[in-house]
Amino acid sequence: MRVRELAGRIESNWEGDGDREISGAAGLEEARETDLSFITQRTLKQAGESRAGCLLVPADFPNQDRRTVIRVLDPREAMARAIAILHPAGAPPRGIHPSAVIGENCEIAGDAFIGPLVTIGRGARIGARVAIHAGTSIGDEVEIGEGSIIYPNVTIYGQARIGREVILHSGCVIGADGFGFVLTGREYRKFPQIGWVEIGDRVEIGANSCVDRAALGVTSIGEGTKLDNMVHVAHNCKIGRHVVIAAQTGFSGGVEVGDYAVIGGQVGVGDKAKIEAGAVVGSGSGVLTSKIVHAGEVMWGTPARPLREYLRQLAALSRLAKKGKTPGTA
C-alpha cells in the first residue's frame, strides 16, 4: 500500500514520498524500508536511526531530515489502526469439527466455528461468527455473543453469559466456584456457589486468568474492560467499563472497580474494597479490606496510599539510609 493511500485510510496528512510502498509494520529498531513504524515523545531521538520507510509522528514533529512521515494526534493509536489495515484478519473459520461434542437443545449460529475436541453442554447459545477453538469446554446454558473468539483450552462453567466480540485467551477459566467456606466447629464447610458470571461486550481476558462465579447473584465485568494474563477476579466482584488490569493482580470477594480505573500488575485487593472511577493503583500495591480508593486518585505501595505520600516516605527512607540508619534503630 502506498503512503498516500494509508494516510487517507487513517485520515491524516503525509509528507515526503507519497508513492512509497509500505507492506508491513515493525518497531523502530527492526523496521525496514518497506515498513511503517511510529515514534512518541520518548523515542524522538531514535527516529533518525530507524530505517522505517514511513513514520507515524506527532503533529509537532520537527522533520528536519525530510523523511516520509504521517502526522497524527496519537502515534500509538494511529499505529493500531494502521496495523489493522496492513495486516487484515483472515476470514474466520466456520463449521463444526466432527470430534466436537454438542449437548441437547443448543442454538449454534450457522456461521460459527466449533473446533476439534470442543464440548458444549445442553442448552448453550452460540452467536453468529463465534469461533471456539480446540479443547475448549462450554458448560450448560452458557451464552456467547456474536463475534466472540474463544481460544484453545478455555473452560466456561455453566450459566455464564459472554457478550459480543469478547476475546478469551487460552487457559481462561470463567465461572469456577468462588472461594467460599464457613468454619463449623473445627472444619470448613463449603458455602454453595450458585451465582453466575456476566462478561460485557468487547472484553478481553488474558491467558490463564480466572473469573469466579458469585456465591449468590453475579460476578460482572463491564463493557470494554481488558484483563492481562493471570488475573484473578473472585466471587461477587463488579468490575466496571473500560477498566485495564495488568498481570498477576488479584481481587478478593465483593470488590467493586469503577469505570476507566487502571490497576497495575501484581496488585492485591482485599475483600469488599472499592476502587472508584478513574482511579489508578500502581503495580505491586496492596489495597486493604474495605478500603475506598476515591475517584481519580493515584495510589501506590502497601498499604496503598496517595502517590505523593508514598514518594515522600521513599525519600525519607533514602535519607535515613544515607545517614547509615534504618527505621526502628536508635
pLDDT at residue number 171: 97
The number of domains in the chain is 2
State residue 92's pLDDT score: 77
The neighbouring-strand residues paired with 268 are 250, 286
Same domain? 246 vs 162: yes
Instruction: Please check whether residue 188 lies inside any domain of the structure.
Output: yes
DSSP state of 226: E
Q: How do residues 289-305 score in pLDDT, each as one tens digit?
A: 999 999 999 999 999 99
C-alpha cell at 53: 520507510
Q: Check whether residue 164 and residue 194 sit in a common domain.
A: yes
Is 24 a member of any domain?
yes
Q: Are 231 and 250 in contact (CB under 8 A)?
A: yes
CATH number at residue 45: 3.40.1390.10
The enclosing domain of 266 has a CATH number of: 2.160.10.10
For strands 155-156 and 173-176, give the pairing.
parallel
What was the pLDDT predicted at 49?
86
| Whether residue 117 is found in the same domain as residue 178 | yes
Q: Which amino acid is at 87?
A: H
Supply the range of the domain harboring residue 11: 3-86
Same domain (yes/no): 257, 111: yes
Query: Is 118 within a domain?
Result: yes
pLDDT in tens, the chain (330 residues): 999 999 999 999 999 999 999 999 999 989 999 999 999 878 887 888 899 999 999 988 888 888 999 999 999 999 999 999 999 887 778 999 999 999 999 999 999 999 999 999 999 999 999 999 999 999 999 999 999 999 999 999 999 999 999 999 999 999 999 999 999 999 999 999 999 999 999 999 999 999 999 999 999 999 999 999 999 999 999 999 999 999 999 999 999 999 999 999 999 999 999 999 999 999 999 999 999 999 999 999 999 999 988 888 888 888 888 887 555 555
- End position of a domain, from candidates 46, 64, 86: 86
Instruction: Give CA 161 to chain center in angstroms.
Output: 18
Q: Is residue 320 part of a domain?
A: no
| Residue 80 sits in the same domain as residue 100 | no
Q: What is the DSSP code string of 18-71? A: TT-B--EE--TTT--TTEEEE--GGGGGGGGG---SEEEEETT---TT---EEE
Count of C-beta atoms within a 10 Å radius of residue 298: 16
DSSP character at residue 288? P
Residues 121 and 269 in one domain: yes
Query: Is there a domain that residue 300 lies in?
Result: yes
Q: Select from 19, 53, 86 the last residue of a domain.
A: 86
* Positions marked catalytic: 235
Q: Same domain, yes or no, for 67 and 102?
A: no
In a domain, 316, yes or no: no
99/14 same-domain check: no
Say yes or no: 160 and 242 in one domain. yes
Asked whether residue 59 falls in the same domain as residue 117, the answer is: no
* Any domain includes 323: no
Please give the backbone phi and psi of residue 104, each rounded to the nearest 5 degrees, phi first: -75, 150
The answer to whether 215 touches 251, Cβ cutoff 8 Å, is no
Query: Are residue 120 and residue 47 in the same domain, yes or no?
Result: no
Residues 172 and 235 in one domain: yes
End-of-domain residue from the set 86, 119, 135 = 86
CA–CA separation, 156 vs 138, rounded Å?
Answer: 5
Tell me whether residue 321 is in a domain. Answer: no
pTM (2 d.p.): 0.88
Q: What is the pLDDT of residue 315?
A: 86
Helix (H, G, I), strand (E, B) or coil at 24: strand
